[in-house]
Structure 1
Amino acid sequence: MNYFKKILRFAVPYRKYGFLNIFFNILYALFSALSFAALIPMLNVLFDKTKRLDEPPVYEGIGKAKDYFMDYMNYQVTQYSGDEPMKGLVLVVGLVLALFLLKNVFNYLAMYFITFLRNGVLKDVRNKMYEKIVDLPISYFSEKRKGDTIARITSDVLEIQHSFLSILELIVREPLTIIFTIMVMFLISVKLTIFVFIFIPIAGMLISRIGKSLKRKSDRVQKEQGEFLSIVEETLGGLRVIKAFNSESRFYKTFQKSTDRFFKFSNSLLNRQNLASPTGEFLGILVIGILLWFGGRLVLIEQSLDAASFIAYMGLAYNILTPAKAISKASYSVKKGNAAAERVLEVLESENPIADKENAIEKLDFESGIELKAISFKYEEDYVLENFNLKVGKGQTVALVGQSGSGKSTIANLVTRFYDVNEGEIAIDGTNIKDISKKSLRDLMGLVTQDSILFNDTVKNNIGLGKEGATDEEIIEAAKVANAHDFIMELPNGYNTNIGDSGNKLSGGQKQRLSIARAVLKNPPIMILDEATSALDTESERLVQDALENMMKNRTSIVIAHRLSTIQNADSIVVLNKGKILEQGTHEELMKSQKGYKKLVEMQTLG
């Protein structure tokens, strides 16, 4: 229940629907009991047991409430029917129908209002989860499988929504139905009701034993669902590689193993769940059977109970069974929902270590430069950068070169604050970037990565991500700077052409130029290029390189380069090796030094 208390805070904005649901559930429970009690006068009329009363009865307290109700009904029947019993029967049948109609109207209204609360909670939990997923650092998702996160925001949240209805039934409707029904049962026969109370707790104990392991089993089902969704997500992302290496059967086997486990866990969970209904049904009928025996004695032998009251009493006893079964069913549903709530809250309560300080600087004008002061950083155990220092003056282009794993991309991740340094500090204009809000920091920067991250949308909207509310003219101008305008105009619908999932309708060079156009539109003072041309052919590289040079004019740029031909005009080239600076200088200076840079250039030239 602890997890549900945390989820309940999402119900606060919809509490009026919750109160309306409770109000109509109270009326439903009351009329549910009264509708069966109203059967007694109808049966009395049928069995011709109705006493003729010409004077209205006098109420003599709760102890004689049943007699008062019976006499009042008899008085009304007498007044209405006179000497015609069919008239009395019509009156009593009309009363029974009216009570059953009201009971069902109130039931519908209770369900009507709870729908708004359930779907509102579903919407808000999903929105909050998406907000949290976007806010969490990149490092969080390098440890989690994407499919598992998708399972949490879809099926787990849906499970919570189903459980929400169950918990309100558990708390309000069914217990009230039982309480009102028992009150009417006490009014009809105290002895019979006490007898019933001996058997109901025994039945309840047996039902509760079945649900003990449901939360654990449900948790395994939901985890396995996340597992096979991850496999689907990875398969769709790497379909080209899977087909190229004829690995379809291998991935199918992995997926099949996961669905086999899901099949096994689901069967175990559902069989345990399905056991509840027949067990509850049998125990209920057992109680009814014993009631028939004991109540029959009261009617036939002791004659302390009339036949009409006994038949109505049996209807009331059966009326208890339905909510009792619903409570046992709801308690299973709550256990399943609790497992789902635990998984959802794990995401919602994850702390983001890269958070803004309380009084973080909201606006910063870039004036002098960027400085990395004695920074050290590790992803896991080993340091990728150790005691690393670097200055990038305003308007300068600094290129980072070196072998894979030397720490080049790590510097880009740290400057943009996708990760935080373990030691030292990164400063912009002398201000530690931890003292600047993430939004303000990233407003200063444009990023073009090796993998062109594009979205299943139009060319215009993909470029427009760079600046909110950008005009068509601004988007076209940015595309021209990025050498992208010409090929865009050749697309079927120009700037309104949808480029497909991850931009798969475009070539590598075209995708990269759209990424550059997006960065140009943002027009930031600092540009970070992370191996922006390494995946391109020679012709595309030349077009992209021209676009990059257009973009870097009058800007501070940190360029991570794999192809050394692209950074020969940089103001400073930094050669990295295992997180340390091997040498630093211009292209000409480094070629004269005969060290690591010259070897790298010669190796690429030979290649």
Structure 2
Amino acid sequence: MNEYFKKIIYFAKPYKSYAYLNVFFNILYALFSALSFVALIPMLTVLFDTKKGITEKPVYEGITSITSYFENYMSYFITTNSQQYGAQNTLLVMVAVIITLFLLKNLFNYWAMYFITFLRNGVLKDIRNAMYKKSIDLPLSFFSEKRKGDVISRITADVLEIQHSFLSILEVLVREPLTIIFTIIAMFMISTKLTIFVFIFIPIAGLVISLAGKTLKKSSQKASEEQGYFLSLIEESLSGLKVIKSFNAEAKFNKKFQGSTEEFYHLNNKILNRQNLSSPLSEFLGIVTIAVLLIFGGHMVLNEGSLSGPAFISYLGMAYNILTPAKAMSKASYSLKRGNAAAERVLEILEERNPITSPAQAIKKEHFDDKITIENINFKYENELILKDFSLTVPKGKTVALVGQSGSGKSTLANLLTRFWDINAGAIKIDNEDIRNLDLHSLRSLIGLVTQDSILFNDSIKANMLIGKEDATDEEIIAALKVANAYEFVQDFPQGIETNIGDSGSKLSGGQKQRLSIARAVLKNPPIMVLDEATSALDTESEKLVQDALENMMKNRTSLVIAHRLSTIQNADLIVVMQKGQIVEQGTHEELMQRNGTYTKLVSLQSFE
């Protein structure tokens, strides 16, 4: 069985009861599908009266003579019933039997489809959930290499393709082969010689269909990748709409997007035309088989007399009945090739190894008691070394500020402390315990993070605040907003904390967004605060308000402050000046100013005295 299909079908385990019911009703459907055509023989016999009547009830003599027994028993039933009630009455009985058989066949088909629907949609839901969970569990480094739009494409389009391709195979996996098997058994019962003749053409038809779908997987994979690319363009364009408009770059981005959709258009045409070929091709080959069958079978009826007219007409119906499941199976073969490409892209995410996880015997740390120690750490992005033999101690209750030019490694240090990335060498310890030994959830519970970019969600102010503390009351939320000097603008909204702030907080100003981010961290109330240029987006008035709030919040709290505006960290207990991933100076504001070194130059550049 296909390796991707095996992995995807694993998601069907919770829904196996639906699978069993589907199989059960498919067996009944296949059986009654064959029986409904077999039942045509006695009806046609009544109409054409081609068989000599049998008045004595036949005796069953074993499986080897089941065909003749069945024929004789039908003849016996028709003869006796016609003699007793008349031919018209017998015909009505046979029509009623056929209607009943076809009704049952279609009812069983409905029930089989009914139960497989729960399985298909359940698997679709579970794969999407697993994809989303894995996507938010994966480290940030994964998304620095992958386009976000490509990941979105995999969660949406590729997962849907799996449902349309792989999971549609489940519908034909039992029903169509069984329909063919039961029909073939009935065909053998009518004429072994004719059935063997028919089967000469089936391998030829299968080979032709297989050759037609050979290149489908490769084309499908290219189409999925192209779809991921143009979804990325959409995501990037909407995020950077201000830049595109301000630089009059609409035409450039439009050209790039149209080029991608043009490529997707050609690939999709190629795939669908190849897929559409399967149905007419299999039907044409089937009709050719039927035509040859008419010649060979007609010879058996007209010249040899080894086959009755009614039996041959029913036989033709059965032969044509094989075409529908055969067509469905050839379409499933094409779908499998498309599904392979989609499943490969989905499984690439699901099977991606996450290097940043809690260890097997993780330590759950509830409190912070002593100090943060950074011991001779090295860290690099790919081949570029960002931090080199970096060491620092942050005692409990102290505020340590990191300053330096862009690219000196300040923000990297914040990302390493929260284990968004892992160091290459050395150790980061909290209370002398390596953070790599700590439970990841408990480590991040100890740390409050306010980033340079205010990351807010398209929801209410309250919902954004509750990310900091799920069970917070409205009073606690308002108190946190007051600490961050954010309540003054929140209370002006007609709906207060229930106000929706738009996509990425688009309804708020930069300063309002930043104060809301700080309020969220205040509500979390962690023992360690990491402020990554937290006041960079604020105007002078807002900066003063937030700076006062931050200073109140950081009292008796351990804080690591990454600062661009040096005016915000002059009261820090320790200022660490960084350059190219190393410490060049450290001390208090007054001490560093007296040295007249790198820090003094940074201060003078900002015209700060």
TM range (shorter): over 0.9
Who is 2:141 aligned against?
139
Question: What's the CA shift string for 1:401-431, capped at 9, x where partnerless?
Answer: 0000000000100111101010100011111
Who is 1:388 aligned against?
390
Who is 1:292 aligned against?
294
Is the 2:120–2:163 Cα contact (8 Å) retained in structure 1?
yes
Is the 1:503–1:511 Cα contact (8 Å) retained in structure 2?
yes
Structure-to-structure mapping, 1:348-497, within 5 angstroms: 348-497=350-499
Is the 1:513–1:547 Cα contact (8 Å) retained in structure 2?
no
Distance 2:151 2:423 in 1: 27
Letter in 1 for 2:30: A
Question: What's the CA shift string for 1:431-450, capped at 9, x where partnerless?
Answer: 11111111111110000011
Letter in 2 for 1:286: V
- Residue 198 of structure 1 aligns to a residue whose secondary structure is coil
Who is 1:7 aligned against?
8
Distance 2:81 2:115 in 1: 39
| Matching of residue 530 in structure 1 with residue 532 in structure 2 | yes
For these two proteins, the number of residue pairs brought into alignment is: 607
Distance 1:259 1:118 in 2: 30
Question: What's the CA shift string for 1:430-477, capped at 9, x where partnerless?
Answer: 111111111111110000011110001111111111012111111111
Query: Which blocks of at least 5 consecutive residues in structure 2 are unaligned?
Result: none
| Matching of residue 201 in structure 1 with residue 203 in structure 2 | yes
Who is 2:560 aligned against?
558
Specify which of 218, 221, 245 is matched with residue 219 of structure 1: 221
Who is 2:256 aligned against?
254
Query: Which blocks of at least 5 consecutive residues in structure 1 are unaligned?
Result: none
Deviation at 1:277, TM superposition (A): 1.3
Deviation at 1:550, TM superposition (A): 2.3
Question: What's the CA shift string for 1:155-177, capped at 9, x where partnerless?
Answer: 11111112234322453111111
Who is 2:592 aligned against?
590
Is the 1:398–1:574 Cα contact (8 Å) retained in structure 2?
yes
Letter in 2 for 1:248: E
Distance 1:473 1:213 in 2: 63
Deviation at 1:53, TM superposition (A): 4.2
Deviation at 1:197, TM superposition (A): 1.1
Letter in 1 for 2:123: V
Is the 1:114–1:165 Cα contact (8 Å) retained in structure 2?
no
Deviates more, 1:564-573 or 1:535-544: 535-544
Deviation at 1:78, TM superposition (A): 4.2
Deviates more, 1:335-344 or 1:73-82: 73-82
Letter in 2 for 1:247: A
Q: TM-score, normalised by structure 2?
A: 0.98
Deviation at 1:76, TM superposition (A): 3.3
Question: What's the CA shift string for 1:92-149, capped at 9, x where partnerless?
Answer: 0011111111111111111011001111111111111111011100000010000100
Specify which of 492, 506, 509 is matched with residue 508 of structure 2: 506
Distance 1:79 1:123 in 2: 59
Who is 2:76 aligned against?
75
Letter in 1 for 2:9: L
Is the 1:399–1:570 Cα contact (8 Å) retained in structure 2?
yes
Who is 1:34 aligned against?
35
Is the 1:169–1:330 Cα contact (8 Å) retained in structure 2?
no
Letter in 2 for 1:452: S
Deviation at 1:501, TM superposition (A): 0.5
| Matching of residue 59 in structure 1 with residue 66 in structure 2 | no
Q: TM-score, normalised by structure 1?
A: 0.98
Letter in 1 for 2:106: N
Who is 2:26 aligned against?
25
Distance 1:132 1:83 in 2: 72
Deviation at 1:382, TM superposition (A): 1.7
Question: What's the CA shift string for 1:248-275, capped at 9, x where partnerless?
Answer: 1100000001001101111111111111
Letter in 2 for 1:73: M
Who is 2:173 aligned against?
171
Distance 1:110 1:165 in 2: 14
Distance 1:92 1:78 in 2: 13
- Residue 510 of structure 1 aligns to a residue whose secondary structure is helix
- Residue 576 of structure 1 aligns to a residue whose secondary structure is strand
Distance 2:569 2:91 in 1: 100
Deviation at 1:581, TM superposition (A): 0.7
Is the 1:41–1:50 Cα contact (8 Å) retained in structure 2?
no
- Residue 576 of structure 2 aligns to a residue whose secondary structure is strand
Who is 1:95 aligned against?
97
Is the 1:147–1:227 Cα contact (8 Å) retained in structure 2?
yes
Letter in 2 for 1:605: S
Distance 2:518 2:479 in 1: 12
Distance 1:209 1:579 in 2: 59
Q: Flag the 1:83–1:457 CA change in 2: closer, same or farther, 3 A.
A: closer
Deviates more, 1:596-605 or 1:66-75: 66-75
Deviation at 1:51, TM superposition (A): 4.6
Deviates more, 1:65-74 or 1:20-29: 65-74
Who is 1:159 aligned against?
161
- Residue 213 of structure 2 aligns to a residue whose secondary structure is helix
Distance 1:75 1:477 in 2: 93
Structure-to-structure mapping, 1:189-338, within 5 angstroms: 189-338=191-340
Deviation at 1:54, TM superposition (A): 4.2
Deviates more, 1:206-215 or 1:544-553: 544-553
Is the 1:576–1:583 Cα contact (8 Å) retained in structure 2?
yes
Letter in 1 for 2:470: E
Is the 1:203–1:280 Cα contact (8 Å) retained in structure 2?
yes
Distance 2:459 2:28 in 1: 52
Distance 1:131 1:558 in 2: 30
Is the 1:211–1:332 Cα contact (8 Å) retained in structure 2?
yes
Deviates more, 1:185-194 or 1:46-55: 46-55
Is the 2:40–2:314 Cα contact (8 Å) retained in structure 1?
yes
Distance 1:451 1:19 in 2: 52
Deviation at 1:547, TM superposition (A): 2.2
Distance 2:233 2:553 in 1: 39
Distance 1:194 1:511 in 2: 77
Tell me how large the CA RMSD over aligned residues is. 1.3
Letter in 2 for 1:233: E
Distance 2:572 2:608 in 1: 22
- Residue 524 of structure 1 aligns to a residue whose secondary structure is coil
Deviation at 1:50, TM superposition (A): 5.3
Is the 2:67–2:190 Cα contact (8 Å) retained in structure 1?
yes
- Residue 592 of structure 1 aligns to a residue whose secondary structure is helix
Deviation at 1:55, TM superposition (A): 3.7
Distance 1:504 1:550 in 2: 28
